[in-house]
């Protein structure tokens, strides 16, 4: 059998391969040769073969069949064999392989070898990849070597001990005695590794930390060593660009950080040396800056005096101006860590930080952006936002989402005016519209709704924004919603903040229809658009027929979501036209929502989170709400959530309180200015539309037909009829539609209908169609009541009617007892 080729020969050969296939062929051939050589148990060439195998392994080829051979090499007496064997073990054998434990004995023997280089190999291998079991077995040997006077071995033993502690923390104690005199060494290698060992112990165990602080007086020792390094003259052995052993200096500073943390005495003891290092270190090269960096980290983390902290921040400020971008990066990272605790000091460097937004390096830009957001406050918000908006415009796509979110947050906290806030949002939507997060849309809608005086301005700006480009979905969604809500302001040209534009109803519908048709619009966006079109049917006057047509077309859309909406809206036009204006009324000012959970379609009252009692005070014209709140208090806050009232209309103040007196223990919904169930809060992906509340209880389909209607009240020319609907799928809900008619010769105005039901029921009153019952039965007021009757008890109701008639205020109470059994059984 010819001698196996040499390693260099093999490398040369493989490098001549011109294709991957050619290389693979060579490798396979050589592997076969190596395999047979291994089988022959050839001691002479084992070393050479394993070396070749390691080379092929680095190229990416499998080499597991060499694992046992490595073990054999380690066990050999020859140093060359051991060297390659241990290297192979470190490359091919990790703790996941079963065979690695077979190394333990060899390592143990080699740790006690007569040649220090063999001992060194063993320590190195154990310290790099020793498993927990191996560490447990050999910790004693390592500890012994930690006490040797041979500095070559001592330094390796120290780092090996670090690895043992990392793998088996319980063994930390056994190394404690050996650490006693470690820092008395002159040898820098031992000093450095000892500091690393002490750092590891102090970081892992508070007891150790306390011990080293108090008993060993570690801090003065470290201070002394550091001082010597700085003060001593040129030492060629350890010099790096004029600085003596920067590696050791940095590790000492790091250990000082841990010792000084949360400890006044230790922090004081190191104050001077830190100031000295901070002021005397050469900053022209990376080396000096590395030490300054570590010093700054230490100063900021311990209980240093304020002068020292300011010094540290100023160092970081100087770093920001350094030409070397690595230094700038490190400065931004450190400033980000300290901005919370030393806010004012960091603020002083704000302009430099903002300049870093224009840096070419992606990592620096990201840091600068994060830091900029942390620095925004009430005073600088205008200037900062200008910079950040400019940044949003020009930054890479991976930043845009975070930047947009950050801007929204900052704007919300510090907006100097509503107009500015809206403008800022507009700017974000138009520059980064497609990167805005999903949850931003409902938040923005809420914000816009609550800025009542800005509605006209907002809708005009949004309209102009999507006129040119309706591809950015979040922008289009917000715009569609606003146009649906405030389209009337748009066409009537009511904008005060800027020049009102001339828009016709048809033009508005054009753009909404384009959104509907466009391929770029998502299903969600289309939903927004369709709903907006529907809402405009009550706000526009000339184009209702067009709207009807659009809505009916989408009744056969393949998109199920759109289809359902269109069908329901169609039904609104046809069967429930009397309710349409009430249902599509302007949205009320919303309560501040803290979370954005999906709307709970709660059957009891169609409203979501009962949040009306805290956060923002209810809007003006909300006496009903406050009285309803009183009711809630009186009732002990059971799960009747008062209906949130709409924007002020000319309805009389609620007499809810009085009702309570009269109705005793009967549950009550004082809902005179009964708002539609609009607190069906914006869901994440659907517009906050009234019908959502209703559509969950199928009103228009699946109805039990044939429940006889009743006359609930008839007196003084006022007649109130109840008609009933129930759903097969949800039999505990009864929907009552009341119709009030007036047979007298004069209208009844300011008509308010109120109702109360016994405790076991829950009731919800929706908005009436109007407040005037016309004379001579020429028209009716319709209103919908939903009753939840889970226990299927007999329906009873007390009603209260108030109205103005013939110049005087009328009021009456009555009880309705003639509910047909089919309406509640």
Looking at the Cβ atoms of 4 and 687, the one nearer to other proteins is: 4
CA atoms within 13 A on the CB side of 386: 5
Taking CB under 8 A as the binding criterion, the range among 121-129, 307-315, 584-592, 655-663 that sits at the site for other proteins is 121-129
Sheet holding 748-757, edge to edge: 667-669, 748-757, 797-805, 808-816
Residue 246 binding other proteins, by CB under 8 A: yes
- Residue 368 touches other proteins, criterion: CB under 8 A: no
Instruction: Compute the Cα dihedral for 605, 609, 611, 612 and give only its sign.
Output: negative
Binding of other proteins at residue 129 (CB under 8 A)?
Answer: yes
State the minimum distance, in angstroms, from the CB of residue 680 to other proteins. 41
Q: Is 60 in the site for other proteins (CB under 8 A)?
A: yes
CB-CB contact of 690 with 680 (8 Å): yes
Is 341 exposed, middle or buried (CB count within 10 Å of its CB: 0-12, 13-18, 19+)? Answer: exposed
Name the one residue in this structure whose structure tokens are 């007496």: 77
Nearest by Cα to 726 from 600, 607, 819? 819
**Site size for other proteins, by CB under 8 A?**
69
Structure tokens at 397: 């796509």
Does 56 contact other proteins by CB under 8 A?
no
CA gap 775, 779 in Å, rounded: 8
User: What's the DSSP call for residue 773?
Assistant: B
Q: How far is CA 633 from CA 573, 614, 668, in A?
A: 40, 13, 12
User: Considering only residues 34, 87, 270, 666, which one is a binding residue for other proteins as defined by CB under 8 A?
Assistant: 87
Chosen residue from 105, 205, 286, 793 binding other proteins by CB under 8 A: 286
Residue selected from 84, 425, 512, 590 as contacting other proteins according to rule CB under 8 A: 84
Compute the distance between CA of residue 657 and CA of residue 6 in angstroms, rounded to an integer: 101
Position among 27, 135, 145, 250 found at the interface with other proteins (CB under 8 A): 250
Contact range with other proteins by CB under 8 A, out of 186-194, 516-524, 558-566, 634-642: 186-194
Which of 128-136, 470-478, 533-541, 543-551 is the region at the interface with other proteins (rule: CB under 8 A)? Answer: 128-136
Residues 505-564 that bind other proteins (CB under 8 A): none
Interaction pattern, residues 195-214, with other proteins; x per rule: CB under 8 A: -x------------------
The yes or no reply on residue 27 touching other proteins (CB under 8 A) is no
The nearest distance, CB 673 to other proteins, in angstroms, is: 55
Q: Of these, 72, 108, 238, 358, which contacts other proteins (CB under 8 A)?
A: 238
Q: Does 54 bind other proteins (CB under 8 A)?
A: yes
If one asks whether residue 222 binds other proteins (CB under 8 A), the answer comes out as no
Give yes or no for a contact between 586 and 550, defined as CB atoms under 8 angstroms apart: no
Radius of gyration of the chain (CA): 40
Least distance to other proteins from the beta carbon of 133, Å?
13
Of the residues 67, 104, 193, 789, which one makes contact with other proteins according to CB under 8 A: 193
Q: What is the DSSP letter of 290?
A: H
Interface characters, 130-149, with other proteins (x: CB under 8 A)? -x------------------
- Contact pick of 293, 435, 753, 803 for other proteins (by CB under 8 A): 293
Residue range at the interface with other proteins (CB under 8 A); choices 241-249, 341-349, 350-358, 663-671 = 241-249
Q: State the DSSP H helix or E strand holding residue 453, giving kind and residue range, or none if neither.
A: none
Q: Least distance in Å: CB of 25 to other proteins?
A: 19
Instruction: For the CB of residue 303, give the shortest distance to other proteins in the complex, in Å.
Output: 19
Tokens read off for 283: 């900053």
Q: Considering the rule CB under 8 A, would residue 325 count as an interface residue with other proteins?
A: yes
8 binds other proteins (CB under 8 A): yes
Instruction: Report in angstroms how near the CB of residue 253 gets to other proteins at its nearest.
Output: 9
Q: Which helix (H) or strand (E) holds 800?
A: strand 797-805
CB of 195 to other proteins, least distance (A): 10
512: tokens are: 């909404």
Tell me how far apart the alpha carbons of residues 491 and 487 are, in angstroms, rounded to a whole number.
6
Burial class (CB in 10 A: 0-12, 13-18, 19+), 137: middle
Closest to other proteins by CB, 37 or 683: 37
Q: Give bridge partners of residue 786 from the DSSP assignment.
A: 735, 764
DSSP secondary structure string, 139-199?
Answer: HHHHHHHHT-S-HHHHHHHHHHHHHHHHH-GGGGGGGTGGGTTGGG---HHHHHHHHHHHH
Q: Beta-strand (E) ranges in 490-533?
A: none
| Residue 83 vs 418, nearer CB to other proteins | 83
3-class secondary structure per residue, 685-711:
CCCCCHHHHHHCCCCCCCEECCCCCEE
Cα distance between residue 528 and residue 518, in whole Å: 13
Q: What residues are paired with 808 via a beta bridge?
A: 805
Residue 693 phi/psi, 5° resolution?
A: -60, -40
C-beta of 84 vs 566, nearer to other proteins: 84
The correct pick among 124, 168, 401, 501 for binding other proteins (CB under 8 A) is 124
In this complex, which beta carbon is closest to other proteins, that of residue 123 or of residue 756? 123
Residue 380 half-sphere exposure, CB side, CA atoms within 13 Å?
A: 16
Q: Which secondary-structure segment (H or E) carries 378?
A: none
- Residue 216 in tokens: 């060993």
Q: Which is nearer to other proteins, 113 or 144 (CB)?
A: 113
Q: How far is the CB of 366 from other proteins (least distance, A)?
A: 8
Per-residue burial over 788-797, b = 16 or more CB atoms within 10 Å of its CB, e = otherwise: bbeeeeebeb
Asked if residues 532 and 484 have their Cβ atoms less than 8 Å apart, the reply is yes
382-401 residues near other proteins, rule: CB under 8 A: none
For residues 402 and 438, what is the distance between their CA atoms, to the nearest angstrom? 12
Residues 328-367: x where in contact with other proteins by CB under 8 A, - otherwise, as a string: xxx-----------------------------xxxxx---
Pick the piece of the chain touching other proteins (CB under 8 A) from 52-60, 722-730, 746-754, 756-764.
Answer: 52-60
- x/- site string to other proteins, residues 150 to 179, per CB under 8 A? --x--xx--xx-xx----------------
Q: Give the interface segment with other proteins, choosing from 245-253, 348-356, 393-401, 610-618 (CB under 8 A).
A: 245-253
Q: Is 117 in the site for other proteins (CB under 8 A)?
A: yes
Are 628 and 654 a contacting pair, CB within 8 Å?
Answer: yes
How far apart CA 515 and CA 780 sit, in angstroms, is 39
Give strand ranges (E) for 442-565: none
Q: Which is nearer to other proteins, 83 or 548 (CB)?
A: 83
Does the footprint of other proteins cover residue 80 (CB under 8 A)?
A: yes
45 or 803: whose CB is closer to other proteins? Answer: 45
Which spans of this chain sit near other proteins (rule: CB under 8 A)?
7-8, 11-12, 15, 51, 54-55, 58-60, 78-80, 83-84, 87, 91, 94-96, 115, 117, 120, 123-124, 127-129, 131, 152, 155-156, 159-160, 162-163, 188-189, 192-193, 196, 237-238, 240, 245-248, 250, 254, 286-287, 289-290, 293-294, 297, 325-330, 360-364
């Amino acid at each position: 059998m010819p001698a196996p080729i040499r390693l260099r020969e093999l490398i040369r050969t493989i490098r001549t391969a011109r294709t991957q296939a050619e290389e693979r062929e060579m490798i396979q051939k050589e592997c076969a040769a190596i395999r047979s050589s291994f089988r022959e148990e050839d001691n002479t060439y084992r070393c050479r073969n394993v070396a070749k195998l390691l080379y092929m392994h680095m190229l990416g080829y499998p080499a597991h069949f060499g694992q046992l051979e490595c073990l054999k090499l380690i066990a050999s007496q020859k140093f060359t064999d051991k060297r390659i064997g241990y290297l192979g073990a470190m490359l091919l054998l990790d703790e996941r392989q079963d065979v690695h434990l077979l190394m333990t004995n060899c390592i143990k023997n080699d740790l006690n070898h007569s040649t220090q280089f063999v001992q060194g190999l063993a320590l190195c291998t154990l310290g790099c990849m020793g498993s927990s079991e191996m560490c447990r077995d050999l910790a004693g040997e390592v500890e012994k070597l930690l006490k040797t006077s041979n500095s070559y071995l001592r330094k390796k033993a120290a780092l090996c001990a670090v690895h043992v502690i990392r793998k088996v923390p319980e063994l930390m104690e056994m190394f404690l005695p050996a650490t006693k005199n470690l820092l008395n060494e002159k040898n820098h290698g031992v000093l450095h590794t000892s500091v690393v060992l002490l750092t590891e112990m102090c970081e892992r165990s508070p007891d150790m930390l306390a011990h080293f602080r108090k008993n060993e007086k570690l801090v003065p020792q470290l201070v002394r060593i550091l001082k010597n390094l700085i003060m001593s003259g040129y030492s060629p052995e350890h010099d790096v660009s004029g600085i003596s052993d920067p590696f050791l200096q940095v590790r000492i500073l790091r250990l000082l950080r841990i010792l000084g943390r949360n400890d006044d005495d230790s922090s004081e003891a190191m104050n001077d040396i830190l100031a000295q290092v901070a002021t005397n270190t050469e900053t022209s090269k990376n080396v000096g800056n590395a030490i300054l960096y570590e010093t700054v980290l230490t100063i900021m983390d311990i209980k240093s005096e304020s002068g020292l902290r300011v010094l540290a921040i100023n160092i970081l400020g100087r770093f920001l101006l350094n030409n070397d971008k690595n230094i700038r990066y490190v400065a931004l990272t450190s400033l980000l860590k300290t901005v919370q605790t030393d806010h004012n000091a960091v603020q002083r460097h704000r302009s430099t930080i903002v300049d870093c937004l224009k840096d070419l390096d992606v990592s620096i830009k990201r840091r600068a952006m994060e830091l900029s957001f942390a620095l925004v406050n009430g005073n600088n918000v205008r200037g900062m936002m200008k910079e950040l908006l400019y940044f949003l415009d020009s930054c890479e796509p991976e930043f845009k989402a975070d930047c947009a979110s950050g801007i929204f947050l900052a704007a919300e906290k510090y907006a100097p005016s509503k107009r500015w806030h809206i403008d800022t949002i507009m700017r974000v939507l138009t520059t980064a519209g497609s990167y805005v997060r999903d949850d931003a849309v409902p938040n923005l809608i809420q914000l816009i709704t609550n800025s009542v005086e800005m509605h006209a301005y907002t809708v005009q700006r949004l309209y102009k924004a999507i006129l040119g480009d309706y591809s950015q979905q979040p922008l289009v969604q917000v715009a569609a919603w606003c146009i649906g809500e405030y389209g009337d302001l748009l066409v009537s040209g009511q904008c005060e903040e800027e020049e009102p534009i001339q828009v016709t109803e048809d033009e508005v519908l054009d753009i909404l229809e384009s959104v509907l048709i466009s391929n770029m619009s998502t299903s969600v966006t289309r939903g927004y658009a369709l709903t907006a079109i529907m809402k405009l049917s009550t706000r526009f006057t000339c184009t209702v027929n067009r709207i009807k047509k659009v809505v009916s077309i989408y009744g056969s859309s393949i998109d199920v979501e759109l289809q359902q909406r269109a069908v329901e809206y169609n039904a609104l036009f046809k069967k429930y036209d009397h309710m349409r204006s009430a249902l599509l009324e302007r949205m009320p000012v919303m309560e501040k929502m803290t979370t954005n959970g999906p709307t709970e379609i709660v059957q009891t009252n169609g409203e979501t989170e009962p949040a009306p009692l805290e956060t923002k005070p209810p809007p003006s014209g909300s006496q009903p709400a406050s009285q309803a709140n009183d009711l809630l208090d009186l009732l002990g806050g059971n799960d009747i959530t008062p209906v949130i009232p709409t924007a002020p209309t000319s309805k009389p103040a609620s007499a809810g309180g009085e009702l309570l007196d009269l109705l005793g223990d009967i549950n009550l919904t004082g809902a005179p200015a009964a708002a539609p169930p609009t607190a069906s809060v914006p869901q994440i992906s659907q517009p906050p539309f009234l019908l959502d509340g209703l559509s969950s209880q199928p009103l228009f389909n699946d109805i039990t037909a044939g429940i006889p209607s009743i006359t609930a009240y008839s007196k003084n020319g006022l007649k109130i009829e109840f008609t009933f609907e129930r759903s097969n799928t949800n039999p505990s809900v009864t929907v009552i539609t009341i119709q009030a008619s007036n047979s007298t010769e004069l209208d009844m105005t300011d008509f308010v209908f109120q109702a109360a039901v016994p405790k076991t029921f829950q009731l919800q009153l929706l908005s009436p169609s109007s407040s005037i019952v016309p004379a001579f039965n020429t028209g009716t007021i319709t209103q919908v009541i939903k009753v939840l009757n889970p226990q299927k008890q007999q329906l009873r109701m007390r009603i209260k009617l108030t109205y103005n008639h013939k110049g005087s205020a009328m009021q009456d109470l009555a009880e309705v007892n003639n509910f047909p059994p089919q309406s509640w059984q």
